[in-house]
């Protein structure tokens, strides 16, 4: 195969699209609209193949809807907000070797450019440019007239309007809440601020205060109800601990816990520092049971986990059980220590069905764990925790709470101990460790007077659920994650002290953070077009956007007030103001929002929340696609693995269309897809082949004669059902199925069609007409996925206009032909059966005879199908019924035997196949006669066709009697 010039093909069509303004979309009252958006990119690095998946699916969706007659809008902006650009620019300024290496070796940015990238905004401009070029080069049908960035003045004004609105309507709270925090930046952190883009999850645990006289030993636990089962405390003898004044008390805690507590608004002064060893074998009092318990050594205790002191519940905590078991077996204990430890026995406090008195012992045995450093203890702990939480009942040892379910007892104990001053709250990062982009470990911090968006408001949650319930979620499997996220979201810090973005309008020390300034920007695409188009009208407000009144946005997005009043106030013409409003109500709501699955729990859920708050119900979002990631040769993509390929490099290397299909073809939406070079090579070959065949067909022209052979009808019937499959799949964005149908299934059918026809001859003039129809349809069906190749096919076949503007193929009932499909399946079956006989016998055939089943067999077979369709499948009755027909009875036992066989086949057959065969008046003899040339060509032998039971038929070996309907008997000589 000669090297195919992908770049030339892409440039050619991209120019034509631009010239024809295929991607530019304005309101059109005569057509229904479709509004697609994808999460706007963050320009602190180039996009890579992984990003390509989301935007390619969105583009395929946009192109599909355009072809189905929708006036489709697919715009794009750029998200500059937040700290990632700062962090990246800073690391580059410091010549961070990792960043320098990534920039030079992976991104291939010349070092001379580094100076200009050290300033965050210039870095953003650089990558924005690069990303935009990539999106054009891969052929996304984006309306670039609507492009904006989140630091544009007018965008800032839009966000301030939105936040003032939220504040006025009670969605913003100010308060003291725990937030995930970077101690280095002294700033809250969210998903976009962390390495690996992880959203920190904050959990609340209980610090239970054990006492030794006046000295408090606080232990952090998520299961305060197990305090009745505490047998001892654990400390790590090799870690540093301190005695400190904490608020009004004397506490013993690990050195690391000092910072943890300080971040959570405790006043602390450290008085003494020492090793944990010093605490061992002392005794103290359980604040709930008043039991006297010892402090024992354990190495699994982490000093940065909670207070660095752990309450031990060996009856119900696998770690504690394992540590105790090891300690009891320790040969180096003194006699006193032995005496102490022998008295320590697990105490059961929760009854759990299917478990003994000590569920922890059971589960440690089940997992086969023998070491307290075994990482499987994490899983064992989660496993037991969940079982006891959902099915456990407090027993007699937890006296006041005996008989209560675990969850209920937990709440009651927290309440009781808090009231008695025996319990304090401690917040922890549940999914730790999480690292800030600056390299510092993320902690929980309590900020006074921080600004929050109150996603915890139950009324708001109800609205969000209402919206979700009406939305299309693709893949549908993801819906539960949304339900969970809507429930889970609570007050969320919405402003930061540093970073790019919009200042909080009423408290300008704060900058609105990235996940909060990106929840309703889809509406801004409408306005952005006018800012560019009618820039003269807005020039004044570009310079001092603060002069643009809220009434402007109120009118455009909420329909409040009047255009006249705004014109008077702003001098922007009424025509423009009304135009924007009209365009907004035309395109809104968003029909489909695209993103990768990692944004479900944050961005996509907040997007739902905010739309339900600000907009009336008819403008709520209608659908979300959250696709899986892209793996690189089965491995996760990461900078450290150096397996990231920037998108533009990949386009240059593989071609836009092979790349588009490469990131979509190995998995359905919910799964991660695997990208591999060998796969792309196969795709390239298939696409090149499509172009070559289309060109050949185009050059040949199509003769006038229309065709109607069974084979032609079969091809068109198959093509038609492929169109139906592809349409249903595209509607659900099951793109892998579309690719399989277009690139593989139709391809196989076409190959069979050509093979059946044999060498090109005058006698089959309909061939090219049929093939042209096949390729026309293929070009249209592949157009959303491989738009450049599709245009080239479309034009080569001699079509006018662009395939991007052509109609998506409709299912045509009149082309469906069960008889033709059944006929071809007989030929295929017979071909396979013959080949199998030749293979098994090793014969080189001179003559092959096919015997079609006798008419009485067809009669029985049809009766059997009828009966199976009605699902009356009593074999005895069926045979009786058959034998009641005099004609069939006269055949005797063979008829009864065949009836038994036929009814079994008919009931076991796939429903679809059965339905297609019912009532088919098939002339199998004719079908076989017609295919004689074909079989003769395939097997290089003379072919005879006869019917079972006809006296004239040559049947020396008595083969004909094994013939069955749809399965002729075969005799090879
Ligand atoms: Zn940081």
Amino acid 309: pLDDT: 96
Which tokens go with 711? 């084979």
Tell me, in angstroms, the distance from the centre of ligand 1 to residue 91's CA.
12
**449 pLDDT more than 90:** no
d(CA 285, CA 53): 59
d(CA 296, CA 337): 10
Instruction: Spell out the residues 6+ positions from residue 684 whose beta carbon is closer than 8 angstroms to its own.
Output: 4, 654, 655, 658
**Tally: H helices and E strands in the chain:** 37, 30
d(CA 498, CA 708): 73
Q: Which residue has the tokens 């930046």?
A: 185
3-state secondary structure labels for all residues of 213-237 = CCEEEEEEECCHHHHHHCCEEEECC
d(CA 17, CA 24): 10
* DSSP per residue, 306-352: TTS-EEE-TTT-HHHHHHHHHHHT-TT--HHHHHHHHT------EE-
Q: Each residue of 905-916: pLDDT tens digit?
A: 998 999 888 888
d(CA 919, CA 868): 13
d(CA 396, CA 255): 38
Tell me, in angstroms, the distance from the centre of ligand 1 to residue 714's CA.
65
Which tokens go with 766? 């309909």
Q: Each residue of 562-600: pLDDT tens digit?
A: 999 999 999 999 999 999 999 999 999 999 999 999 899
**809 pLDDT more than 60:** yes
Q: Which residue has the tokens 């010093």?
A: 278
d(CA 151, CA 42): 12
| Residue 149 DSSP label | B
Tell me, in angstroms, the distance from the centre of ligand 1 to residue 499's CA.
12
| Residue 885 DSSP label | S
d(CA 35, CA 636): 32
**159 pLDDT more than 80:** yes
Instruction: Identify which of 372, 238, 265 has the alpha carbon closest to the alpha carbon of residue 318.
Output: 372
Percent of the chain past pLDDT 90, that is, above it, reads 76
**Angle of the 787-796 helix axis to the 677-700 helix axis, nearest 10:** 20
Residue ranges with strand state E in 510-561: 511-512
Tell me, in angstroms, the distance from the centre of ligand 1 to residue 661's CA.
38
User: What's the CA angle centered on 28, arms 22 and 34, to 5 degrees?
Assistant: 70
Tell me, in angstroms, the distance from the centre of ligand 1 to residue 265's CA.
20
Residue ranges with strand state E in 8-87: 33-38, 71-73
| Averaged pLDDT score across all residues of the chain | 92
CA torsion 278-279-280-285 (nearest 10°) is 160
Tell me, in angstroms, the distance from the centre of ligand 1 to residue 163's CA.
26
Instruction: Spell out the residues 6+ positions from residue 124 whose beta carbon is closer than 8 angstroms to its own.
Output: 43, 44, 78, 80, 85, 149, 500
**621 pLDDT more than 60:** yes
Instruction: Spell out the residues 6+ positions from residue 415 whose beta carbon is closer than 8 angstroms to its own.
Output: none
List alpha helices for 243-290, DSSP H: 255-263
Q: What is the mean pLDDT of residues 775-781?
A: 96
Amino acid 65: pLDDT: 98
Long-range CB pairs of 372-377 (<8 Å, 24+ gap) are 372/298, 372/299, 372/300, 372/319, 372/322, 372/323, 372/326, 373/299, 373/300, 374/322, 377/300, 377/318, 377/319, 377/322
Tell me, in angstroms, the distance from the centre of ligand 1 to residue 193's CA.
8
Tell me, in angstroms, the distance from the centre of ligand 1 to residue 452's CA.
20
Instruction: Spell out the residues 6+ positions from residue 783 whose beta carbon is closer than 8 angstroms to its own.
Output: 63, 67, 790, 791, 794, 803, 804, 806
Tell me, in angstroms, the distance from the centre of ligand 1 to residue 180's CA.
11
Tell me, in angstroms, the distance from the centre of ligand 1 to residue 192's CA.
12
* DSSP per residue, 826-877: HHHHHHHHHHHHHHHH----SEEEEEEPPHHHHHHHHHHHHHHHTT---HHH
Amino acid 706: pLDDT: 63
Tell me, in angstroms, the distance from the centre of ligand 1 to residue 199's CA.
14
Q: Each residue of 364-381: pLDDT tens digit?
A: 999 999 988 888 999 999
- Rg of the chain taking only CA atoms, in angstroms: 37
Q: Beta 393-394 vs 350-351: how paired, if at all?
A: antiparallel
Tell me, in angstroms, the distance from the centre of ligand 1 to residue 127's CA.
22
Amino acid 176: pLDDT: 85
d(CA 426, CA 446): 11
| Residue 707 DSSP label | -
d(CA 829, CA 752): 13
Instruction: Identify which of 536, 542, 581 has the alpha carbon closest to the alpha carbon of residue 558.
Output: 581
Tell me, in angstroms, the distance from the centre of ligand 1 to residue 826's CA.
70
Tell me, in angstroms, the distance from the centre of ligand 1 to residue 439's CA.
6
CB 414 within 8 A of CB 204: no
d(CA 611, CA 603): 12
Q: First vs last Cα of the chain: how many Å apart?
A: 42
Tell me, in angstroms, the distance from the centre of ligand 1 to residue 219's CA.
29
| Residue 194 DSSP label | B
Tell me, in angstroms, the distance from the centre of ligand 1 to residue 521's CA.
27
Tell me, in angstroms, the distance from the centre of ligand 1 to residue 626's CA.
29
Tell me, in angstroms, the distance from the centre of ligand 1 to residue 440's CA.
5
The dihedral of CA 661, 662, 665, 670: what is its sign?
negative
Q: What is the mean pLDDT of residues 920-943?
A: 93
Q: Each residue of 223-272: pLDDT tens digit?
A: 999 999 999 999 999 999 999 999 999 999 999 999 999 999 999 999 99
Tell me, in angstroms, the distance from the centre of ligand 1 to residue 481's CA.
29
Q: What is the mean pLDDT of residues 810-826?
A: 91
Q: How confident is the model at residue 447 (pLDDT cuts 50, 70, 90)?
A: confident
Q: Within 10 Å of residue 876's Cβ, how many Cβ atoms?
A: 9
d(CA 84, CA 189): 11
CB 821 within 8 A of CB 752: no
Which tokens go with 880? 């009786």
**88 pLDDT more than 60:** yes
d(CA 212, CA 206): 19
Q: What is the mean pLDDT of residues 302-312?
A: 93
Amino acid 920: pLDDT: 84
Amino acid 186: pLDDT: 85
Alpha carbon separation from 797 to 4, 263, 692, 788 (Å, rounded)? 19, 70, 11, 14
In terms of phi and psi (left: phi > 0; alpha: psi -120 to 50; beta: otherwise), the region of 220 is beta
Amino acid 703: pLDDT: 61
Rounded to two decimals, the pTM is: 0.81
Helix, strand, or coil here: 202?
Answer: strand
Cα within 13 Å of Cα(165), Cβ side: 20
Cα within 13 Å of Cα(372), Cβ side: 19
Amino acid 912: pLDDT: 87
Tell me, in angstroms, the distance from the centre of ligand 1 to residue 87's CA.
8
Q: Each residue of 1-44: pLDDT tens digit?
A: 457 999 999 999 999 999 999 999 999 999 999 999 999 999 99
Q: What is the mean pLDDT of residues 467-493?
A: 94
Which tokens go with 594? 């695209």
Tell me, in angstroms, the distance from the centre of ligand 1 to residue 187's CA.
7
Tell me, in angstroms, the distance from the centre of ligand 1 to residue 518's CA.
22
List alpha helices for 425-533, DSSP H: 458-470, 479-488, 524-533
Tell me, in angstroms, the distance from the centre of ligand 1 to residue 454's CA.
25
Q: Each residue of 268-306: pLDDT tens digit?
A: 999 999 999 999 999 999 999 999 999 999 988 999 899
d(CA 243, CA 535): 66
Tell me, in angstroms, the distance from the centre of ligand 1 to residue 182's CA.
5
Q: Each residue of 517-533: pLDDT tens digit?
A: 999 999 999 999 999 88
């Amino acid at each position: 195969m000669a090297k195919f010039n992908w770049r030339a093909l892409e440039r050619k069509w991209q120019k034509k699209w631009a010239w024809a303004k295929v991607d530019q979309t304005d309101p059109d009252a005569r057509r229904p609209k479709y509004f697609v958006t994808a999460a706007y990119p963050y320009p602190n690095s180039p996009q890579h193949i992984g990003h390509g998946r989301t935007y390619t699916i969105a583009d395929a969706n946009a192109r599909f809807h355009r072809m189905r007659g929708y006036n489709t809008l697919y715009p794009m902006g750029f998200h500059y907000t937040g700290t990632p650009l700062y962090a990246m620019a800073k690391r580059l300024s410091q010549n961070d070797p990792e960043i320098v290496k990534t920039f030079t070796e992976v991104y291939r940015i010349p070092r001379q450019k580094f100076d200009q990238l050290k300033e965050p905004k210039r870095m953003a401009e650089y990558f924005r440019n690069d990303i935009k070029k990539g999106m054009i080069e891969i052929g996304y049908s984006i309306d670039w007239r609507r492009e904006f960035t989140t630091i544009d003045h007018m965008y800032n004004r839009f966000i301030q309007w939105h936040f003032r609105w939220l504040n006025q309507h009670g969605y913003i709270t100010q308060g003291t809440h725990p937030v995930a925090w970077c101690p280095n930046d002294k700033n809250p952190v969210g998903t976009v601020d962390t390495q690996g883009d992880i959203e920190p999850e904050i959990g609340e645990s209980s610090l239970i205060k054990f006492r030794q006289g006046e000295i408090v030993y606080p232990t952090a636990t998520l299961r305060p109800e197990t305090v009745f089962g505490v047998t001892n405390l654990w400390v790590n003898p090799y870690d540093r601990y301190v005695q400190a004044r904490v608020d009004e008390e004397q506490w013993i805690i690990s050195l690391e816990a000092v910072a943890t507590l300080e971040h959570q608004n405790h006043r602390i002064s450290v008085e003494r520092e020492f090793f944990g060893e010093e605490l061992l074998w002392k005794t103290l009092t359980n604040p709930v049971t008043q039991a006297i318990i010892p402090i024992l050594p354990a190495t699994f205790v982490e000093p940065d986990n909670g207070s660095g002191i752990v309450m031990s519940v060996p009856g119900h905590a696998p770690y504690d059980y394992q540590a105790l078991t090891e300690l009891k077996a320790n040969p180096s204990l003194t006699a006193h220590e032995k005496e102490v430890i022998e008295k320590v026995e697990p105490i059961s406090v929760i009854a759990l069905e299917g478990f003994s008195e000590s569920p922890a012992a059971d589960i440690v045995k089940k997992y086969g764990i023998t070491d307290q450093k075994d990482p499987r203890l994490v899983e064992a702990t989660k496993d037991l925790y969940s079982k006891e939480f959902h099915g456990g009942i407090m027993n007699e040892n937890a006296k006041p709470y005996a008989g209560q379910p675990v969850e209920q007892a937990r709440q009651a104990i927290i309440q009781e101990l808090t009231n008695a001053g025996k319990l304090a709250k401690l917040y922890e990062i549940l999914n730790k460790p999480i690292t800030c982009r600056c390299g510092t470990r993320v902690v929980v911090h309590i900020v006074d007077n921080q600004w929050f968006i109150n996603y915890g408001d139950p009324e708001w949650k109800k609205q969000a659920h209402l919206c979700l319930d009406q939305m299309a979620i693709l893949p549908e499997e993801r819906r539960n994650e949304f339900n969970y996220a809507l429930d889970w979201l609570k007050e969320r810090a919405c402003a930061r002290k540093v970073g790019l973005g919009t200042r909080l309008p009423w408290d300008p020390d704060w900058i609105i953070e990235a996940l909060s300034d990106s929840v309703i920007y889809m509406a801004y695409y409408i306005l952005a077009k006018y800012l560019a188009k009618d820039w003269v009208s807005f020039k004044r407000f570009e310079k001092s956007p603060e002069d643009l009144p809220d009434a402007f946005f109120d009118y455009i997005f909420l329909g409040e007030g009047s255009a006249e009043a705004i014109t008077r106030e702003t001098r922007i013409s009424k025509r423009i103001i009304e135009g924007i409003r009209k365009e907004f109500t035309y395109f809104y709501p968003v029909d489909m929002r695209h993103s990768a699955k990692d944004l479900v729990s944050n961005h996509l859920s907040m997007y739902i929340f905010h739309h339900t708050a600000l907009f009336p119900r008819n403008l709520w979002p209608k659908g979300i696609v959250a696709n899986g990631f892209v793996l690189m040769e089965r491995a996760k993509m990461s900078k450290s693995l150096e397996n990231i390929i920037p998108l533009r490099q990949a386009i240059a290397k593989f071609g836009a269309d092979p790349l588009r299909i490469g990131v979509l073809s190995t998995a359905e939406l919910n799964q991660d897809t695997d990208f591999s070079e060998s796969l792309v090579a196969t795709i390239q070959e298939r696409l090149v082949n499509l172009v070559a065949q289309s060109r050949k067909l185009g050059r040949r022209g199509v003769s006038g004669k229309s065709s109607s052979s069974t084979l032609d009808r079969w091809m068109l019937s198959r093509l038609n059902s492929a169109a139906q499959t592809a349409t249903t799949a595209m509607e659900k964005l099951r793109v892998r199925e579309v690719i399989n149908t277009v690139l593989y299934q139709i391809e196989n059918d076409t190959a069979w069609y050509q093979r059946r026809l044999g060498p090109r001859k005058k006698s089959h003039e309909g061939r090219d007409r049929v093939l042209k129809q096949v390729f026309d349809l293929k070009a249209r069906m592949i157009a959303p996925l491989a738009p450049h190749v599709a245009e080239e096919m479309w034009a080569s076949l001699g079509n006018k206009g662009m395939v991007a503007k052509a109609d998506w193929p409709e299912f045509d009932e009149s082309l469906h032909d069960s008889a033709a499909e059944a006929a071809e399946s007989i030929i295929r079956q017979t071909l396979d059966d013959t080949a199998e006989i030749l293979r098994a016998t090793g014969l080189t055939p001179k003559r092959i005879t096919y015997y079609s089943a006798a008419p009485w067999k067809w009669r029985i077979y049809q009766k059997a199908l009828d009966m199976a369709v009605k699902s009356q499948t009593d074999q005895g009755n069926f045979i009786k019924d058959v034998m009641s027909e005099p004609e069939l009875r006269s055949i005797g036992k063979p008829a009864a035997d065949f009836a038994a066989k036929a009814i079994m086949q008919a009931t076991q057959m796939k429903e679809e196949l059965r339905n297609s065969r019912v009532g088919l008046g098939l002339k199998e003899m004719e079908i076989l006669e017609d295919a004689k040339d074909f079989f003769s060509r395939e097997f290089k032998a003379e072919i005879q066709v006869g019917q079972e039971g006809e006296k004239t038929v040559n049947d020396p070996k008595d083969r004909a009697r094994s013939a069955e309907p749809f399965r002729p008997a075969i005799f090879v000589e």
